[in-house]
Amino acid sequence: MRILSGVQPSGKLHLGNFFGAMKQHIEAQEREECFIFIANYHALTTIQDADRLRALTRDVALDYLALGLDPAKACLFRQSDVPEVTELAWILSTVTGKGLLERAVSFKDKTAKGLSASMGLFCYPILQAADILIYHSDVVPVGKDQVQHIEMTADMAGYFNNTYKCEVFKLPQARLNEAAIVPGVDGEKMSKSYGNTLDLFDDAKSAKKKIMSIKTDSTPVEEPKDPTTCNIFALLKLFASKDEIAEWDARYRKGGMGYGDAKKRLAEFFEEKFGPARERRATLEKDPSYAEDVLASGGKKARAVAQGVMAKVRDACGIVIHH
């Protein structure tokens, strides 16, 4: 079973990235064949500064390695190390109707938030489909907001197979991540664009300061509190055991507890979980060649698969390349 996932190098990774995707990627490497790519072509829709893109791409690799991704078990690579993916995107665009792309919810959402409506943003689902299809991926773990893109990928694979009367592409399945909605410090969904994140590799002091600033309601200490509407409780649930969650639930409902107690416990959890990874990351950062070697060898492995698939694609549509 081959699992494929991409992560955009668009800024510092935060708690929402970890519980929304990275944790599942790192756990999946024990059971399945994982291909995880750093989507630097995709990032060009928002990052147009060469040095920054290079640095952020390297940072994502360091973050994954520090958090426990094992290059002996999972294939971690840069999207741009497999240039065939852009060739496939062009070929898919010749069999895909404009109407399909106009229905993409994420395009509407992003332009509504003020991102410029570039052709890159509009054609994003085609490059995403190429990313998925070129590695014969079986499963793509996604959040609910990305399910439509996987359905569009299956549509594009079908258009190609039907147009050229072939069975080149495997139809991928979406696998829904457990819906970990991670609230930010302001109570909205945690997101870089809202500036409300708890960054994974913040030092202990900054992380604690941010946690202590998380918004709560103004229920007095002695009054009972509703854990189901509390941001701190939602975050505690991501870290604590079932038994400990039950204890916090009871404390909330009983009253006599200030939110500060729950915040302090959350800060402890954060440090227990990410403190050791922060130290590993600092060590990895001292040897820039290590992350680069991991990405280069991952890229070679991924490209070998992509080249096999592209040979069939070219053959099906009559494109001749003399090497």
98 given a catalytic annotation: no
Measured distance CA(44)–CA(39) in Å, rounded = 9
The residue annotated as part of the active site, out of 189, 237, 273, 301, is: 189
E-assigned strand segments in 240-279: none
Backbone phi and psi for residue 187, each to the nearest 5 degrees, phi listed first: 95, -15
312 given a catalytic annotation: no
Backbone phi and psi for residue 37, each to the nearest 5 degrees, phi listed first: -115, 150
Measured distance CA(71)–CA(297) in Å, rounded = 9
B/e letters for 228-255, b = 16+ CB within 10 Å, e = fewer, are eebbbbbbbebbbeeeeeeebeebbeee
Are 216 and 230 in contact, with CB atoms under 8 Å apart? yes
Are 270 and 198 in contact, with CB atoms under 8 Å apart? yes
* Single-letter residue type at 235: L
Token pair in block for residue 17: 């990235």
Token pair in block for residue 150: 């996987």
Measured distance CA(162)–CA(180) in Å, rounded = 38
Are 173 and 185 in contact, with CB atoms under 8 Å apart? no
The residue annotated as part of the active site, out of 12, 23, 170, 192, is: 192
Measured distance CA(63)–CA(12) in Å, rounded = 9
Percent of the chain that is helix, strand, coil (3-state, to 5):
60, 10, 35
110 given a catalytic annotation: yes
Annotated active-site positions, please?
110, 189, 192
